[in-house]
Amino acid sequence: MSSQMGGHMSGSVTPNSVLVLEYLSAGGEAADADGELLSQGRAMRDALATDLCAVPGLAVHLAVASPDEPLPAALAAQPRLSRIAPHEGEDTLAFAARAALAADASWMVAPESGGLLARLQAAVGPRRWLGCDALALHVAESKRETLALLARAGVRTPLACEGNSRGWVVKPDDGAGAVATRRHASRSQALADLAERCAHDEPATIEPWIEGEPLSLSLLVDARGVASVLARNRQRIEFDAQGFVHFRGVDAAVIDARDPRAPALDILARAVVAALPGLRGFVGIDVVWSRALDAPVAIEVNPRLTSAFVGLSGRLGRNVGAEVLAASWRPEQLREPA
């Protein structure tokens, strides 16, 4: 696809204006939000806005917590970028609904916690929504439901790998990143952790720990539901003395098509999208390349922009944000009843 895509270009139709709203940097709060998640959110927001500002004729409305918030100099200087901020005391969902009315399309990013993406979509409405549909969001925002659905579709998940695991992991069922994710040496330790979380009304899930190389896949799923792999990435994961997992970043697009693992990764990506209809736009899949199986194991699906998007356009030498917009936008959306 061309890196120059817009409503004024022949062969592609994109909206005339797009709202970019990342929940945490727009002033939203999440129960498990921390400084690291906010930093990741701002980085994704700025990378996306930068890509979209390069689309000829496209106006970009950027949601910010404060109109005085500093932006990267190059982004702040974009002539077709405008900022929109919440009113004093305005709830972030109400802000999102109001801000969406100013644009043809809304591209939103949020942590999985509390079903935020689904609530944002409900606030904005499907007419202007860029991304996965309500059913896909509902399933993907639960790690337990996602793995169960993928397993039923024949996709290899940790649920089928207990005999090859070297430990267990407990994590929030709707968590973002590696927040509150803990690895245990034994199943009994993991069950005790799970019971404690449940006693505190913290939805959590338990699954076999897959020993291997942590990877992720960045996909573009077009308006017809056809998936293509944008990048195969390596995740940097560390553990502390208590077994808590910490996400330290991602090395994007480091596994190219010549890597012998690439075909299996691409097959898994297509199988995941086929198993979960309604995925659209930019989608991430967390994967571990199992040492015991010498094969990929699907860990979770992120129905939104992920940290791998940051810097991806530069690494690939093409405007990924513009490609996703052009491929996933349906111009008839604005003609559909609200």
Question: Do 86 and 213 fall within a single domain?
Answer: no
pLDDT tens across the length of the chain (338 residues):
333 333 433 345 679 999 999 999 999 976 445 677 889 999 999 999 999 999 999 999 999 999 999 999 999 999 999 999 999 999 999 999 999 999 999 999 998 778 899 999 999 999 999 999 999 999 999 999 999 999 999 999 999 988 777 799 999 998 766 778 999 999 999 999 999 999 999 999 999 999 999 999 999 999 999 999 999 999 999 999 999 999 899 999 999 999 999 999 999 999 999 999 999 999 999 999 999 999 999 999 999 999 999 999 999 999 999 999 999 987 666 565 55
CA angle 252, 301, 197 (to 5 degrees): 115
Asked whether residue 34 is assigned to any structural domain, the reply reads yes
Question: Do 125 and 148 fall within a single domain?
Answer: no
Asked whether residue 5 is assigned to any structural domain, the reply reads no
Which of 41, 25, 19 lies closest to 106, judged by CA?
A: 19
Question: Do 156 and 124 fall within a single domain?
Answer: no
Asked whether residue 162 is assigned to any structural domain, the reply reads yes
Question: Do 191 and 272 fall within a single domain?
Answer: yes
pLDDT at 29: 78
Domains of the chain: total: 2
Asked whether residue 325 is assigned to any structural domain, the reply reads no
Question: Do 169 and 257 fall within a single domain?
Answer: yes
Question: Do 154 and 115 fall within a single domain?
Answer: no
pLDDT at 3: 34
Question: Do 103 and 157 fall within a single domain?
Answer: no
Q: Tell me the CATH number at 37.
A: 3.40.50
Question: Do 158 and 280 fall within a single domain?
Answer: yes
**Residues 275, 155: contact at Cβ < 8 Å?**
yes
Which of 61, 52, 55, 54 lies closest to 8, judged by CA?
A: 55
Asked whether residue 166 is assigned to any structural domain, the reply reads yes
Asked whether residue 237 is assigned to any structural domain, the reply reads yes
Rg (CA), the chain: 20
The domain in which residue 186 lies consists of 143-302
Asked whether residue 310 is assigned to any structural domain, the reply reads no
Asked whether residue 232 is assigned to any structural domain, the reply reads yes
**Residues 234, 254: contact at Cβ < 8 Å?**
yes
Q: Tell me the CATH number at 282.
A: 3.30.470.20
Question: CA-CA distance, 146 to 51, in Å (whole number)?
Answer: 30
Question: Do 116 and 159 fall within a single domain?
Answer: no
Q: In what order do the strands lie in the sheet with 81-84?
A: 81-84, 59-63, 17-22, 105-109, 129-130
Question: Do 76 and 211 fall within a single domain?
Answer: no
Question: Do 171 and 275 fall within a single domain?
Answer: yes
Question: Do 123 and 223 fall within a single domain?
Answer: no
pLDDT at 8: 35
